[in-house]
Each structure stands twice: as C-alpha cells, then as structure tokens.
Amino acid sequence: MAAASSPSPQPGVTGGEAGGWSNRFEQGLHPAIERFNASIGFDILLLQQDLDGSIAHARMLGRCGVISQDESARLIEGLETVRQEAAAGQFRPGLEAEDVHFAVERRLIELLGPLGKKLHTGRSRNDQVGTDLRLWLRQQIDQIDAALLRLERALLEQAERHADTLIPGYTHLQRAQPVCLAHHLLAYIEMAERDRARLADVRGRVNICPLGAAALAGTPVPIDRRQTAAELGFEALYANSLDAVSDRDFAVEFMAAASLVLVHLSRLSEEVILWASEEFGFVALTDRCATGSSLMPQKKNPDVPELVRGKSGRVFGHLMGLLTMIKGLPLAYNKDFQEDKEALFDGVATVHGCLEAMAILFEEGLQFRPERLEAAVASDFSNATDVADYLVARGVPFREAYQLVGGLVKRCLQEGVLLRDLPLDRWQELHPAFDADIHAAIQPRQVVAARRSEGGTGFDQVAAQLQRVRTRLDA
C-alpha cells in the first residue's frame, strides 16, 4: 500500500509561509485564525515605544560586543528610518505582520538585509511587549496627571469665585447643613489629589524594566540589562525573569486607580446633573457644553456629565476584565496577555476624555446661580443643629438640646413656619436659655461662619484652604 502523501500547504494570509516562525512550521495560519491571532490592528499604538526599546537594545548589543559598533549604528539608523516612515504615513503594516514587533523587524530586514535579523538577539517578544507596554503606560500616567491638574485648577477657580456663596449641604440627599460652595468644590480637589497620589504610586511599579528576561528564563547572550533600563528611564529591573514576562499587576493597579478617578468624576457629574435640573436650579448650563432635544425646543441637556457618569462603567469593566484574564494563568507568558492592551488603551482614552470634558465644563460650561443658592439655604431647617449648639454653649447637655429642637422642628412643620420666623417668646417657652441673639445665630451665613474647626466650612477655614491649594497648584 502506498504511503500517504504529505498534505499540500494551505495558504493563509502569509501565502502558505510560516511567517516569523522557525522552520518547524511548514504552512501559514488559516486565514480566520490569522485574523483571530493578530494584534497589529491595535498594538500599532505601541510603535514609538517599540522603536525606543529596540534602539536601546541595539545600542546595548553594540556596547557589550554582541554585535559590532558599526552594526549597532546601522540598526539604530534603520529603526529611525522606520520612525520617519511612520511619521510620513508610509509605514502601514498589514495583517501579515501579526503584531507591531514583527512589523518593525520585517521592515528592518527589508531595509538592512541579513543585519536586520540580528536585532532580536538576546530578547523575546515576551520581554519586548512588556517593555513597550510599560513605556507607553508611564507616559500616559504623566498625561493623566496633567489632566487631573487642569481639572483641579478649573474647580479652584470656581471655588475662589464663590468663596462667599452658600449651598445646601446634604446627607442621604436630604438637606443637612448649609456649607460654603467653595468648600464643596474643594472636596473634589482633595479627591483629585488622592487620584494623583495613587497614580504616582502605580507609576513606580510601572517603571520597572523586564527587558532582558527574554522568553522566561533569561539569556546566555552577554547583555547588560541595566544599560538598557537606564537608557529607557526605568528606575529598576525585575529581579526574576519568570515574573518579568508574566507580571500584569501594574495594568490592574492602573485600572483600579483609573476606576477611582472615574468614581470621583461620576459623583461630581451626578451633582452637576442634579444642580442643573429645574428642581434644584443651582447652575445654568452654557451653550458650549449642553445639547438640545430633537423634539422639545425648551430642553437644555447636561450631556457632558451624563456621558462621564456612563463611561465610568467602561473603566470598571476593564478592571474586572484584567483581573479575570490573569487569575488562572500559570507562569510564565501566555497568549491571554494580548487581551491587556485593548483594555488599557480604551481605559486610558476614556480617562483622558472624561477629564478633559469635565475640565472644560467647569472652565466654561456652567454658571452657578448664587441667588438661587442663597434662597435655598434660607428656606429650610438646616440650621436646626445650630439651635442645639446654641443651647450647648449655655450649659444644656447636647442630647437634651437635641430632643428639644427635634420637637420644635416637628411643631414648626405642622404650623408651616421656619425656625427663623419664630418670635423670641416662643424660643423662651422652649428653654429659658434662649435670648434675642438666637435669630442672628441661626442665619445661614452665621451658621457657616461658626464652623471654624480645622477642615470645616467656616469662611476663615475655607479661605486658608483655598490659599493652600492655590500655592500647591502654582508651585
């Protein structure tokens, strides 16, 4: 019986060739699998970082004598040519390149011939992609930090403009106590500062170099990892090669920090949406940051904060996706890691876009309505605590004062009057400690001014906080 003949090669996108793989492979990938496997459609975003890392690697190979200095210089020149071609729109690798790393290497071989094949000496795509991703994310963290600063400045300018404006303070979305509007806005600046601190902390762990770990076990090639790390601006090296190529903690940490950025933006967005409603009426939206209705001509919609509130879910989803991706992976590199990039790319873009939009909203998209705010704080019972405090200052135990005022508020609600409307004799019927100065003590401005404890909403405290923030942001 005749021996079965070998199957004829089935062409894939590579035309039946094994692409960048070794001679172990005889055929190209199935076209559908090639499309499924390729990442060039999105990891081309890492092109500049791939070129930077490859240039540092080529320079190190020359200095270590792995290749000649002339070969090193020519490799660097070829890589810079690829950079120039990309800038001119002439470097457009297709699906056959599979990923940005192969795309650069193939183009280098086209430019330099056999010399281009020496670039990959002493490294693997596993440590290469880890390096590229860290270089890219490090830069993005710096840009997000700048965007957070811009938002802080926009909030600060509004706060300085409204250092004497009052706004109802809420707990459980019920009127609680009046506060200074600047104090309210400064709370979001504090959140943004925590975001910046978290991102700076994450940046330290992003800024560790995996290059030189090779596929998973290091390399016998006499490379100098510290030289490439220093040239690329890394602060440290991974101490374990297995960990170097399989670590994606930094990606998860970044997305967790990014999620908190979006939590804070979403909370601020929700407040703006409420404030802009007819029921609140605390702000008016300018035409620069609002849209209308295709049906109802009177509408002015707060699309910016609504979109930010909605987009927060995308970033939260990416965090859960990254955690799920890595939770069951054995050491070391696994193809699953290809899924980190689209999550990071979209997460970073979403954070950038939301921060920019919210900064613009507070720079020129809304106007507070002080007269509406003043009317709001003057027409409720948010000064009830100050009545109790008045009695406490005159020796009445707080819990006793608390019960007395609670009963008084109940009667006022039944009668349809406010505390400010009660005559002195009604106050003195409640407790003889009340005197004529009770009316001044429960005026909204006095209520706010009296809260002089450190970090409180008192005008003096807010002025000091505004000065501290201004000094910090101008530094």
Active site residues: 172, 293
Do residues 213 and 126 lie in contact, with contact meaning Cβ atoms separated by under 8 Å? yes
At residue 265's C-alpha, the angle toward residues 260 and 266, to 5°, is 95
Q: Which of 124, 90, 121, 122 is CA-nearest to residue 107?
A: 90
Q: How far apart are CA 151 and CA 125, in angstroms?
A: 38
Phi/psi of residue 211, nearest 5 degrees = -60, 135
Do residues 105 and 119 lie in contact, with contact meaning Cβ atoms separated by under 8 Å? yes
Q: How far apart are CA 195 and CA 474, in angstroms?
A: 18
Residue pointed to by tokens 């806005």: 185
